[in-house]
Amino acid sequence: MDTMQGMPKTYRVRTELEAILERLEEGDAVPSERELAARFEVARETVRQALRELLVQGRIRRQGRGTVVSRPKMVQPLSLRSYTEGAISLGRKPGRILIGWDDVEADADTAATLGVSVGAVIMHLERVLLADGEKVGLESTFMTLERFGPLRSHYDPTTSLYAAMRASGVVFGSATERIETVLASPREAALLECTTTLPMILLHRRTIDAAGDPIERVRSLYRGDRMAFETHLRE
């Protein structure tokens, strides 16, 4: 009995494609939409939709005008480690591209998070996150000038910010993190070299030190096809 009978065509095609991907290696070319449509006797739009779903799952990626098998998503632990530390622990080479390091005025939410007045001048550090040279995220960090302004004299923003903070005497205490799914803005999509239709994982973090004083407010946007997150739960 055909277990796929009665299933939506896209689901059937995606399942068949997953079986094909299991026989391929990372970087191998995926058959074209035309080939797959002929093989499965379906419309090319059905194949296209199945490929979109596999793209979001991180099973495949675009390369030039074609599609190839992708390496698995990078699964980051939700912890008080930096992105750099997490990537290295997974055997990936981390990197960052500096977009901007500017003085800005704190809005109401950021002011409350950092314990400053609305309109106070604070630092905003924006960087693209890399894993093995691939753009996987966009990180915006807000910090007070009073506490972290001296970092500008010696900190390399393409390296771990947490390592620099610890070296300056900061003892991390805890963080509150909220996770949601969003779509990227045109600017964010351009910086991450993806489309505005690709689902993103958005993390908001407020970090305090061991004394309970604010350290940072962070907005981290990750490509949903390249990143996943996990945490250990216990009662």
Q: What is the CATH number of the domain that holds 51?
A: 1.10.10.10
Determine, yes or no, domain membership for 13. yes
Same domain, 115 and 35: no
DSSP code of residue 151: G
Same domain, 139 and 213: yes
- Note whether 52 and 30 are within 8 A (CB): no
Length of the chain measured in residues:
235
- Is the pLDDT higher at 66 or at 154? 154
Determine, yes or no, domain membership for 235. no
Same domain, 41 and 128: no
Same domain, 172 and 205: yes
Same domain, 102 and 19: no
Same domain, 92 and 58: no
Same domain, 39 and 79: no
pLDDT value at position 6? 56
- Mean pLDDT along residues 154-169: 94
For residue 95, is it left (φ>0), alpha (ψ between -120 and 50) or beta?
beta
- Mean pLDDT along residues 124-146: 96
Q: Residue 105 and residue 101: Cα distance in Å, rounded?
A: 13
Q: What angle do CA 214, 215, 216 make, to 5 degrees?
A: 105
pLDDT value at position 10? 86
- pLDDT tier, 5 (very low <50, low <70, confident <90, very high otherwise): low
In angstroms, how far is CA 191 from the centroid of its own chain? Answer: 12
pLDDT value at position 121? 97
In angstroms, how far is CA 171 from the centroid of its own chain? Answer: 26
Same domain, 131 and 44: no
- Note whether 198 and 224 are within 8 A (CB): yes
Using one digit for the tens of pLDDT, what is the confidence trace for 26-37?
A: 888 988 889 998
Give the domain range for residue 43: 9-69
Q: Residue 55 and residue 35: Cα distance in Å, rounded?
A: 18
Same domain, 88 and 134: yes
Same domain, 78 and 166: yes
- pLDDT tier, 77 (very low <50, low <70, confident <90, very high otherwise): confident
What percent of the residues of the chain are helix, what percent strand, and what percent coil, each to the nearest 5?
30, 35, 35
CATH of the domain at 156: 3.40.1410.10
pTM (2 d.p.): 0.81
